[in-house]
Structure 1
Amino acid sequence: MKNKAIVLGTNYYIALSTIRCLGINGVPVVAIDYSNKDTYAAKSKYLSERLISPHYKNDTKGFIQFLIDYAKKQDCPPVLIPCHDLQVEVIDEHLEELKKYFLIPQTEPGLYTKLMDKGSLHKIAKEMGVAVPETVRVDEENFLEKVENILKYPCIVKPVDSPSFVAQFRRKLFKVHNREELEDALSRAKSAGLEVIVQRIIPGFDDHMYTFDAYLNQEGKVTHWSTCQKYRQFPINFGASVYTGHKYVPELYEIGARFFEELKYKGFAEIEFKKDAETGQFYLIEVNARITNFNNLLYKLGLNMPYITYRELTGSPLEPKSFKEDINLVFWYAYEDLLAIRDYIKTGQLTLGEVLKSLLKPKAYAIWDWKDPMPALAFSKIILDKVFRKIFKTKD
C-alpha cells in the first residue's frame, strides 16, 4: 500500500486500537506524538514509524508545519487520523491547509468543532428535531429561577468546550445539588475562562447510555454503522465507556443517520444518547468526531473503522456493512472498570453479584492482545510506577 496512515497520539488505547486496525491489514502506520512519556501504544508491532512533533496546542503553528513537511516528503498523500478531541479541533481549524497534503474525510471546515461544541450542538439538534436535555445558558434572564423551576436539582454544569474543561478539571462536568454548589461550579469555570451551560439530568442508570457509531462516505451517506449500549462508565455516571456491549437499537439508526446525512458529515462519528428511564425517549448527549473509545469492539464485530476510512480515501472503498441483531460481545477497559466497579458498589448502584455476572460475556479488550503484547506490558509498567510513587509519597 502506497499511502501511509498518520495516527496522532500514542498515550491512549484509542490510538493503539487504530494502529492495530490499520497495521494488521498491511497499512504502513506512522505514529506522531509530542513526547515519549507513557506512550505505550508506540510499542505495537504494527507500527512502521514513530515521530516526535511540536505540541499540537502549545505550538500549533509548529505542529501543522511539522505535519506538512512530513507529507511533502511522501510519494502519496498520507491518511490523517486524530485520536483525541483536541487534535480534532486543531485539524478542523487548519483543515483547508492540511487537505492539500493529507487525505482527510471531512470537507467542511468548522463542522467538527460545531458538533463538539455543546452549545452549537444543542442548537443544531433542536433545529433538526432531535431531542436534547433541557438547557439553561448562564447569561439568560432569570437564570437561577429557570434552573430551579425547569431543570431542578440535581442538575449538571456542562462545558461548551469539553476537551479544555477535562484538561483543566480532570472530569467531564460538575453535578450540583443546590444553588450553593451551582454558584461554586460556575465560579470555578469562570476562573478557568471556560464557558458552561446547565442541563437537566435525564433519569436512568448508566446502562441507559447508548451510542450510534457510523462511517459516512464522501457523498455524506452512512455506509457502515452499529449501535451499542454502555453498561459501566468511569468516572461513574458521567464518564467514558469502560464496559460497553453491542446492542441493536433501530431507533438510534433512524435518528443518527438522518442527523449526520442532513449535515453532510463525512468520515467516522459517534452520537451518545441517553434513554429516559421514565419516558423511553432517547436524548442526544454529545457527538464524538474521532475514533471511539471502544473501537476494538467495533473491530471485533467486523467494523474496522480506521481501515474503512483508509480504504475509501485511497480509492478502494469497502462494501457497506451493519448489524441488525444483538451480538454477545463487550468492550472492556479493565483498569478503569475496576475503579468504576469499586465506586458503583460503594454508592449502592450495583451489587458484586451483578458485576460478576456481567463479566462472563466475551470481550474485546482495550489494551491486551495476545498477538501484540508489548503495549499491555508497557501500560502495566506505567500503572505500577504510579502505584509506587503514590505509596512512597504517602510514606513521606
Structure 2
Amino acid sequence: MHQSYVIILASGLNGLGAVRSAAHAGLRTYTLLTGQSDLSAYSRYSQYRFLLPPAPCIDDIRPILDNLYLTEGGPGVLIACSDLAAELLGQLKTEGYARHHLVVPCGDTTEVLNDKKLEYQYMLSGGITLPQTYFSLGADTPESFPLIIKPRTFREYKLLGAKNRIVRTLNELNEFRDQFRGYLDQFIAQAVIPGDDDNLWVCNVTFDRERNLAACFVFKRLGTMPSHYGVTSLAVSLDNPALREACQKIGKVLNYTGPAMIEFKKDPETGLYYYIETNPRLGMCNWFDTRCGINNVLACTHTAYGRKVDIGPQKDNQVYWNFFGDLIARLENRENLLRIIRLYLSLLRHRKVGALFYWKDPHPAFRYGWTSLRDMVYRLGKKLSAASG
C-alpha cells in the first residue's frame, strides 16, 4: 500500500500553513505554485515544487497530477488554498477526474460560493441568517447605512481595487454608482453589522463524504488587515458550540464535502450571529488550527483515504499574530499608539502562534518581515512627503 501524500495548490499564507500542517502530520507533500516568490517557496517543508503559470487552467495541472500518480503508485489528496485553485479542483471533480482524491465540493457548489450573489441567494433559501443584502445596486434602495460593497467574484477585485468598499451615506453610494456605471451587476451590498473586530468569528472546517462536520476549529478575530473589513491579523482561539451547529447546518444546505472557511459576525446588541461568507478552500489561518490541535489538512487526508477522522478538542486562548500586518493596519486606521501597545502587552500572557514565524521554518518569516518593513518605510515616506508638500 502506497504512503499517504498531499498535493497542495499553494497561495500565500494559506499555502505556507498547509505545507507546514502537512509536515506536522508526517505527510509527504508536493506543492504547486504560481510564482517563485510565493511564501511556500521559501519553506524548508516545500521540497517538491512545481511552478505553474500565473493564471493556471486544468490543462496546466493535469500532466503534473498524472505524473505524480504514476511516480507514487497511487492517488494523493488535492488541497486548494485559493479561490482559483478551488475552481480548478471543482472543475476536475465535475469532469470525473479520478487519479487523485478530490475531497472538495462539486464544481456547481464552488461556482455558487465564488459568486457572492449566488451564495447569498442560496443561503437565504436555506434559512441561514444574513445581514440585509442588496443584489441590485442600480435599483435597490438601502434601508440604512453604512453598507459594505463586495465584488461578486475574486476576479472583480482588480476592478474595485480592493476586496470591498464601505459607503456611509446615500451620496457616497450614488458616487459609487456613477463611478462603476455599466458594472453594477458585478457587485452586491450588505448592511454593516455593528460591533468591533472582536465580534468577528471564523470557523475552519472539514466536511466528510457524508457531509458531516469532521473537524472544526473556531477563533475570534481581534484585528484584521485592513482594519475591520480585511483578513485576520490577530485572533484568539475560542470554541463556540452555536457556531459549530451553524456550520453543520451550512454544510447540509450546500451538500458540502472538504475544507472550508466560514465567517460570522455577532451583533453585540442582539447576540445574533450573522453569516458573512464561506470560502470553498482551506482557511488562511490553517497553521493556527494545527497548532491548536485541529489539523484540517490531516482531516482532509483521512477523509480522502476513507479513514476515521479522530481529532481531539481545540486548545482555547491561544493567540494568532501577524505582527507587521496587524501593526500596519492599526496605524493606517489611526488607532492610538498607546492603546495598541496596551493591547499587545495584554497578549503576552497567552501562548502565541505566529502567522509566519516558526522556529523550525524561519525563512518565510524573514522574507515577509523584510517586505513588510520596506512597505512601512515606503508608506511613511509618502505621508511625510505629502505633509511637507
SS in 2 for 1:243: strand
Aligned to 1:374: 363
Contact 1:116–1:286 (CA<8 Å) still a contact in 2?
no
CA distance in 1, matches of 2:293, 2:130: 31
Match of residue 134 from structure 2? 136
Query: 1:9 corresponds to which residue?
Result: 10
Cα distance in 2 for residues equivalent to 1:101 and 1:343: 48
Is 1:342 matched up with 2:343?
no
Query: What residue is the counterpart of 2:31 in the other structure?
Result: 31
Q: Which residue of 2 aligns with 1:21?
A: 21
CA offset digits 1:36-77 (Å, max 9, x no partner): 1x223222222230111233x3x5254244444434533212
Given the alignment, which residue of 244, 247, 255 partners 2:246? 255
Residues 206, 105 of structure 1: CA spacing in aligned structure 2 closer, same or farther, 3 A cutoff? same
- The letter of the residue matching 1:290 is R
Residues 1-396 of structure 1 correspond to what in structure 2 (within 5 A)? 2-10=3-11, 12-36=12-36, 38-55=37-54, 57=55, 59-74=56-71, 75-97=73-95, 99-106=97-104, 108-138=106-136, 141=139, 143=140, 146-147=141-142, 150=143, 152-161=144-153, 163-190=154-181, 195-323=186-314, 327-344=316-333, 346-347=334-335, 351-352=339-340, 354-360=342-348, 361-383=350-372
Match of 1:31, as an amino acid? T
Question: CA offsets, 1:176-201, max 9 Å, x none?
Answer: 12233213323444566861112111
Distance in 2 (CA, whole Å) between partners of 1:117 and 1:357 is: 40
Q: How far is 1:132 from its partner?
A: 0.2
Which range moves more in the overlay, 59-68 or 284-293? 59-68
Tell me the distance in 1 between the aligned counterparts of 2:227 and 2:131. Answer: 19
- Residues in 1 aligned to 2:192 and 2:380: alpha-carbon distance in whole angstroms: 37
Q: 1:283 to 1:389 in 2, by over 3 A?
A: closer
Task: Specify the SS of the correspondent of 2:107.
Answer: coil
Instruction: Give the Cα–Cα distance (whole angstroms) in 2 for the partners of residues 8 and 93 of structure 1.
Output: 14
CA pair 52-356 structure 1, distance change in 2 beyond 3 A: closer
- The 2-side partners of 1:391 and 1:206 are apart by 25
Report the residue type matching 2:84 in the other structure: L
Contact 1:244 1:330 in 2 (8 A): yes
- Name whichever of 372-381 and 346-355 sits farther off: 346-355
In 2, distance between residues paired with 1:390 and 1:341?
A: 14
SS in structure 1 at match of 2:95: helix
Closer, same or farther: CA 127–292 of 1 in aligned 2, 3 Å:
same
Q: CA deviation at 1:320?
A: 4.4
The letter of the residue matching 1:373 is: P
Instruction: Return the letter of the residue paired with 2:215.
Output: H
* Secondary structure of 1:95 counterpart: helix
Shift, 1:338, TM fit: 0.9
Give ranges in structure 2 of 5+ residues lacking alignment.
none
Separation in 2, partners of 1:273, 1:221: 20
The Cα offsets for residues 306-358 of structure 1, whole Å up to 9 and x where unpaired, read as 111112212333314444xx7110111112111122234x1569923542344
**Conservation of the 8 A alpha-carbon contact between 1:214 and 1:269:** yes
CA distance in 1, matches of 2:26, 2:224: 33
Mapped partners of 1:119, 1:390: distance in 2? 35
Distance in 1 between the 2:303 and 2:156 partners?
34
- Decide whether the 8 Å contact of 2:104 with 2:259 is kept in 1: no
Q: Counterpart of 1:289 in structure 2: which amino acid?
A: P
Q: Partners in 1 of 2:58 and 2:206 — Cα distance?
A: 30
Question: Number of residues paired by the alignment?
Answer: 381
The runs of 5 or more residues in structure 1 that have no matched partner are none
CA deviation after TM superposition for structure 1 residue 224, in Å:
1.6
How high is the TM-score relative to the length of structure 2? Answer: 0.88
| SS of corresponding position for 2:148 | strand
* Equivalent residues of 2:215, 2:294 under 8 A apart: yes
Q: 1:194 to 1:354 in 2, by over 3 A?
A: farther
Task: Work out whether residues 222 and 261 of structure 1, in 8 Å CA contact, stay in contact via their aligned partners in 2.
Answer: no
- Partners of 1:388 and 1:116 lie apart in 2 by 35
Distance across 2 between alignment mates of 1:157 and 1:66? 39
RMSD: 2.8
Give the CA deviation at 1:384. 5.2
CA shift for structure 1 position 262 = 3.8
Kindly state the Cα deviation for residue 20 of structure 1 after the two structures are TM-superposed: 0.9
Q: Give 1:7 shift.
A: 1.2
Which one-letter code corresponds to 2:31 in the other structure? A
What is the CA distance between 1:282 and its match in structure 2? Answer: 0.8
Residue 26 (structure 1) shift: 2.6
- SS at structure 2 position matched to 1:171: coil
TM value normalised by structure 1: 0.86
Q: How has the CA–CA distance of structure 1 residues 252 and 384 changed in structure 2, closer, same or farther, with 3 Å as cutoff?
A: closer
What is the percent sequence identity of the aligned residues? 24
